[in-house]
Structure 1
Amino acid sequence: MRLHFTAILIIILQQINRIFTQSIPISPCPKIFQYRFDGTEWYGILSVRNTDFAEALQIKVTLSMRGKPTTSYLGEIELLSRGQFHSNVPVLYKIKFPKTHFPPKLLHVTANNHVICVGQSDLSIFVTQIQLEHTRKFTFIGDDEPSDILPGHAQFSATLMEDEEEDDDDIAFLSTDTKFSAEHLP
């Protein structure tokens, strides 16, 4: 009797574990993107090396989630690296996700239109794709210029693309396209 109870308990615990671990995605590129949980919500940390400081660093992150978003907030990309940038040091970003019970899956990341990470989409009858963009323009200041004036500009936009697997058409619905500029803080 004790053996049967133990076997049933193990099977139940395995099923519960599958339910919870299935919804928490694993990063397809752990050296570039990692999922984090701060106790209240999920977010991602993105690490990108910018090899050419002569041009702006444009980041595009595409996420996939089951179903429709329950809020108009689609997430955003926040620049974490502040101050001076060097070619060997990665630029860090915080990827804020839409408010859902589980984080969306990472589909792909591009830096200046070069794909640096590719993942797999969620499998469901209805899948929502969210594309977040961030552009960081680098401005260099000469040695003779004051260091308290560090101009920097960032643009952010979020686009919601809904796609039902039942239809063969690829239709993209533009839900929001928000852009803002931010000043660089030393």
Structure 2
Amino acid sequence: MSLPLIILVLLIILGIIVVFIYNRFVKNRNVVKDAWSNIDVALKRRYDLIPNLVETVKGYAAHERNTLENVIKARNAAMSVPPDEINAKINAENQLQQTLRSLFALGEAYPDLKANTNYLDLQQKLSEIEENLERSRRYYNGTVRENNIYGESFPGVLVAGIFRYQHFEFFETDEVSRENVKVSL
């Protein structure tokens, strides 16, 4: 076999490998985006529910205006992040989650509110959304893990820059929202 033929065969093999790697990057990115779309649906349901919840609490805890305003601000901030900016969306959602925790802490401080059927219904619906969101988050984080491992390991790491490999952030609860919310009246 001549040297030019060997080089041609090696280039063809290398080309096939690069195409395989590229296709894997595309597949991983699309799986992550699909997983994110499941989260996005749950987030939109949560956004729709929050104003009703705030209005219900407002009647019982009128002097807790700051908490209620913070919930609305966090909701609006989270809604304003474009859906394709996943990492920014995750940060905004962590802020919203923290303000929602403080809103529910108000429910504990006001027994009349806690007994209100509308409040209880909204709280139940939000709880269902949060459970769905948690399942979607676990699936999303699994797809992110697969994507990030492939982009950071051999042979993907060799061509990641060429194909504009996208590293995604995990959707985790931030450290602040893991702490218990304290309400003092």
Do these two structures clear the TM 0.5 threshold for a shared fold by scoring above it? no
TM-score, normalised to structure 2's length? 0.27
TM-score, normalised to structure 1's length? 0.27
The answer to which structure, 1 or 2, has the higher relative contact order (CA under 8 A, 6+ apart) is: 2
Please tell me whether Structure 1 or Structure 2 has the larger radius of gyration of its CA atoms: 2
More strand by share: 1
More helix by share: 2
